[in-house]
Structure 1
C-alpha cells in the first residue's frame, strides 16, 4: 500500500500538479479518472494533485444497484473526456445532465486556461479527491500519448474546433448519417463539431502496392510489411511528423486501448486488433525471408539478397513494449470473458510474429559472424519479445514460445548457419 505523502510532499505536489474542478454531477454518479473509479457524493468537487500529462475522465450518470467503488457500472453507455494538464493548471467543467456533457465556464472555450485563485482552491481542498499515488500503470499506458497532443487532436479533430476530446461508447469510427441521441444533442450545442473518430485506415484485405502484379502481390498479401510502412507514413504525415516516426501510430494504439478499457468502445477494439495484426504479420520489415523462401539455416555460403524493404526494428520493439503494458493492465480473465472471441486471433498473430522473428534473427546471423556492439538492435528485439512473452504467460497463461522448435539468439555462435553438402 502506498504511504500517504508528508506535509512537505503534499505542498510540493500542490505547487507543481494540476486541479480538475468538476461541478454538477448528481449524487451516485459513476466517475473514473485514469481508470480509478469513484461514486460521487454531494461534497465532491473534483480532483487535486493531478500530475502533468494526459488524463482520461470517464463518467456514467445513471445509478446502479449497490455502492461499489472499484468499477463503473457494468451496463450502459460510458462517456470519456481526454485532457492534457500542465503544472498547477486548473481545469474547470460543469456537468449538464440534459446533454450528458461538460460545459466550459462562460466566455471561454476548451483551450482557455481557467483563472482560479489560490484562496478558492484552498477553500475547496476538503471536497477535492487526491489523485491516486500509484500512477505507474497509467504512465506506462500513456507513454507515447504523453509526448504529444497531436494524435488526440487528429483522432477527435479538436484542431478543427475548440471543443473537448470527448466521445461515448457508441461514437462511430467514421462519420455516420444516423447519430445517437447524445451525439445529436452535442451537435446542437457544437454545430461545427465533426462526428466520428478519425483513426488511420489500416485495410489489411488489400495490402499490396497499387501497381503490384504476380509474385509481388502474393508476397505483400501474406506479409503486411508494405501496408505497415504505408500506415506509419500516413499517421506521421497527418501530424506533420517525420515519415519514419512511429510515434503517431503508437499513440493511436494507446488511445484505442484506453477507449476499450475506459468506454468499452467496439470500434476502437476493432482498430486495436487490426494494429496487432499489422505489426505481427509484417515479417519483411524485420528482415525475415519470404514465407516460402529457404530458411536461413538452409542458405548456401552466399546469402540471398535482402528484401526490397529496409530492415527497421525500432517500431516493432516500441510496439511490443506498448502491447506488453496494455496486457499487464488487462484483467487476468479478459480473454475468457469479455474478449474471449478474439483470443485465438491474437494468439495466432503473436505466433506469426514469433516465427517472423526467428527467421529474421537467423537471416541476420547468417550475414554477420558476430554481433556489432554490445546491444545490437536485434538483441533489443529479443528482449522486448521475452518481456512480452513473460507478461502474458504470468497474466493469461499463454505460452507463446511453445509452438516453435528453436530459440534463435543473436549472440550465440551455435546459431551460425550450417553449410551442408548436397
Structure 2
C-alpha cells in the first residue's frame, strides 16, 4: 500500500491527527479498500494508518483459494460507512465463519487502549491512507453525513453488492409443499415454465434492505383536476416537495447527501440498486421546474454534486451504464431547459449554462437536439414494396 507523494508537513499532521484502522486476522488475498482505492491483503497487513478524520467507506471481498494453487474465487463486495475522529483507533477482527469484519471490540475500551499503546510496534504493518485520492473522495461525499448514511444503509450496517435473499416460504418437507399445492422436486419438469414455477419465491432477508427515500408514484395531489394532473406529470415539483417534507423536513439539502450515498454504493460498492435509485432521484430533481425557482441553494448544490460525480469517472464509463436508453442526456436536457427559464435565479441560470457547456465539451453530448422519443422514425421497406 502506498499513499502517494505527500507534503512532509501534511504527513506529520496526518501522522499526529489521523485515525487508525486496526484490522486483525484478515486472510491473505482478501480484496480490501477504503474510499476510492483497494488492495490485495498481504501476509503482514494489520490495517490502515494516517486516515483523515471524517466519513469513509470501507469495503472488502473475501477470496477463497482453490486447493493446489489453481486460482481462487472472489466473494461479493461488502462495505460500510464509518466516521472517524482525530486520533481515533477503530478495531476490527475478521470473522471467518461470516467472512466479514466484526467491530464489536471497538466498544471495549480496555482492548482499544491496549492496541493504542502498541501502535508503535504495529506501525510497520499498517499501510498509509492513500492521500492522493482524498480530494476526489471528499468531492464525492461533501454533502453526505454519517447521520444520513446510517439512515439509508441497511439495518445490518452492511452494503452488499449481492442481495441477501431467502425463500418466502420455508417448506423443506414434501408434505408441507403439498399443503401449499407446490410441485415435488423429484418429478421431471415438462416445460421451462413449469421449471420456473418450481423455483422458490425469494424475498430480501430482513435487515439487508436499503432504506432509500420513497419516491412518490402519484405525482399530483389528492382530488387534482385533469389539468393539475397533466401539469404535475410534466413538472414533478409536487412529488419532490412531498419527499423533502416527509424525509428531510429539517434540512432539505440532505437529499443531495442521499444522491451521493446512492452513487457511492453503485460506483464503489458495486450495488446496482444504488444506480437505480440515483437515476430516479436525479430524474425527480431535474424535472421539478417550479422548485428551481424556489429552492435556489438546492439546485446550486445539485450542479456541484453532478459536476464531481460525472467528472471523476472516465467518459467510456457512460457508454454501457449511465447512457443506457439515453437516460442521462434526456434528463439533463430537461434540467437545462427548466434552469434557464423565467423566474430562475440569475446565479443558478449562469451556473447551469456553464455546466451544460462543460458536459458538451467533455462528453460531446448534444443537449439541443430533440429527445429520441420525439424524433421521427425511419422505416426501411422491403425491396419491391411500394406505398400507394
TM range (shorter): 0.7 to 0.9
Residue among 292, 307, 311 paired with 1:324: 307
Verify the 8 A CA contact 2:30 2:62 in the aligned structure 1. yes
- Equivalence for 2:150: 153
Please state if 1:271 is matched with 2:277.
Answer: yes
1:102 aligns with 101
CA distance in 2, matches of 1:317, 1:206: 27
Q: Name the CA distance, whole Å, in 2 between partners of 1:74 and 1:269.
A: 25
TM-score, normalised to structure 2, is: 0.76
Deviation, structure 1 residue 63: 6.0
Secondary structure of the residue aligned to 1:337 is: helix
Q: Which moved more, 1:96-105 or 1:316-325?
A: 96-105
| 1:215 pairs with 2:215 | no
**In the alignment, which residue of structure 2 is the partner of 1:414?**
none
1:167 corresponds to: 159
Q: Distance in 2 between matches of 1:107 and 1:83?
A: 12
Q: Which has the larger radius of gyration?
A: 2
**In the alignment, is the contact (CA less than 8 A) between 1:24 and 1:94 conserved in 2?**
yes
CA–CA separation in structure 1 for the residues paired with 2:169 and 2:258: 25
1:393 CA drift (Å): 3.5
Instruction: Name the residue aligned to 2:322.
Output: 339
Q: Secondary structure at the match of 1:263?
A: coil
CA contact 1:60–1:79 (8 Å) conserved in 2: yes
In the alignment, what sits opposite 1:17?
A: 18
Matched, 1:252 2:253: no
- 1:296 aligns to what? none
CA-CA distance at 1:328 after TM superposition: 1.3
How far apart, in 2, do the equivalents of 1:104 and 1:236 lie?
30
Residue in 1 that maps onto 2:6: 4
Structure number with higher helix proportion: 2
How many aligned residue pairs are there?
331
Seen in structure 2, the aligned counterparts of structure 1 residues 251 and 281 have a Cα distance that, compared at 3 Å, is: same
Q: Distance in 2 between matches of 1:86 and 1:155?
A: 21
Alpha-carbon contact 2:237-2:291 (below 8 Å) kept:
yes
Instruction: Quote the offset at 1:47 in angstroms.
Output: 0.6
Distance 2:99 2:43 in 1: 18
CA contact (8 A) 1:23 1:45 kept: yes
Contact 1:286 1:312 survives alignment (8 Å): yes
From 218, 236, 241, give the equivalent of 1:229: 241
CA shift for structure 1 position 337: 2.9
CA distance in 2, matches of 1:263, 1:84: 17
- Tell me the equivalent position of 2:186: none
> Does residue 1:39 correspond to 2:40, yes or no?
yes
What is the TM-score when the length of structure 1 is the normalising length? 0.70
Please list, as runs of the form range in 1=range in 2, the aligned pairs for 1:345-364 lying within 5 A after superposition.
345-358=327-340, 360=341, 363-364=342-343
SS of residue matched to 2:38? strand
Q: Structure 1, residues 134-171: CA drift from partner, whole Å, max 9, x if none?
A: 211101111011xx32212211365xxxx6x3120134
SS in structure 1 of the partner of residue 284 of structure 2: helix
Q: Determine the structure 1 residue equivalent to 2:140.
A: 141
Kept after mapping to 2: 8 A contact 1:175/1:196: no
Counterpart in the other structure of 1:261: 267
- Runs of 5+ consecutive residues of structure 2 not aligned to the other structure: 67-71, 171-204, 372-388
**CA displacement at 1:112 relative to structure 2:** 11
Structure 1 residue 228, shift from structure 2 partner: 0.9
Q: Determine the structure 2 residue equivalent to 1:52.
A: 53
CA shift, 1:396, in A, is 2.5
CA distance in 1, matches of 2:298, 2:305: 10
Measure how far apart 1:76 and its partner are.
5.4
For residues 130 and 238 of structure 2, the distance between their equivalents in structure 1, rounded to whole angstroms, comes to: 43
Q: Secondary structure at the match of 1:124?
A: helix
